Structure 1
Amino acid sequence: MNSPLTTDEIETIRARCEQATAGPWRSFIEKRDKISGPDFIQTGGEDIYLTGATIADHDFIAHARQDIPRLIAEIERLRAVDP
């Protein structure tokens, strides 16, 4: 089992998230989404094009932009309830 995240580790994760391009991010896959052109992740800024990524990789990366802030908030909520 991994040790619990420290407050410093959570702050480092939060900083990486805050420094990333604004969200929401969304994955567009040509075969799945019936779009024309390459697969990409749409962001609040420049689109991200990945090579060698699976559909699951695209979805994971795109959702991480929204998921990580929510997970941090939940960790903080739970810690406030049960310090």
Structure 2
Amino acid sequence: MINQEQLNAIKERVAKATPGPWLVEESRYEGRFNAASADENYDLPACLMGIEDAEFVTHSREDVPALVAEVEYLRGMLRDTRKIVRQKVNEIKTLQNACRNHKAKQEALVTGNEQLRETLCFYGDLSKYVIIAHMNKETDLAVDLGEKARQALGGKAHE
């Protein structure tokens, strides 16, 4: 991976290079080619090279700046993506905490409901009122005989 220092050095070399586009011209030497600037204001020394090298050199003037721009673009995208991922991770952690809190509250409600159900079952049990009936006392319990508790349980006193 190219670090920023290397990238800056490439950009500096690109800035100092003869402006493109460049051309490949056939040399007076058989099988050799010269690279030259298409701009008549710049004199490039004739370089003797093979066709593959000449093609590489002539394309490098456009390719290198394009690659540098692409690297910088992708780094920006990566930086933005990392920022978004960090935000989403924080959102997920917040949601996980909310779910844990909700689950704890739900478990507390279930426990509370179980306790209330046990209490209603106790008060809905008609056999508990036999003693009150023998005592011949008129209390709310004696009059109700657990009816409200049985209604709260859906008409059932025991399960």
CA distance in 2, matches of 1:56, 1:48: 19
Is 1:13 the counterpart of 2:13? The answer is no
1:22 corresponding residue in structure 2: 19
* Structure 1 contact 41–49 (Cα < 8 Å) conserved: yes
The alignment's C-alpha RMSD in Å is 1.6
1:50 to partner: Cα distance: 1.7
Whose radius of gyration is greater, 1 or 2?
2
Provide the TM-score with structure 2 as the length reference: 0.42
What does 1:1-83 align with in structure 2 at a 5 Å threshold? 4-29=1-26, 37=28, 39-43=33-37, 44=39, 45-51=42-48, 53-83=49-79
Q: 1:5 is aligned with what amino acid?
A: I
Q: 2:3 is aligned with what amino acid?
A: T
Residues 8/68 of structure 1: CA separation in 2 closer, same or farther (3 Å cut) = same
**Structure 2 unmatched runs, 5+:** 80-159
1:9 to partner: Cα distance: 0.6
Q: Comparing both structures, which one devotes a greater share of its residues to helix? A: 2
1:13 to partner: Cα distance: 0.5
Identity between Structure 1 and Structure 2 (%): 27
Please list every run of at least 4 consecutive aligned residues from structure 1 whose deviation after the TM superposition is greater than 6 angstroms.
none
Q: Report the count of equivalent residues.
A: 73
* Structure 1 contact 26–63 (Cα < 8 Å) conserved: no
**Structure 1 unmatched runs, 5+:** 31-36
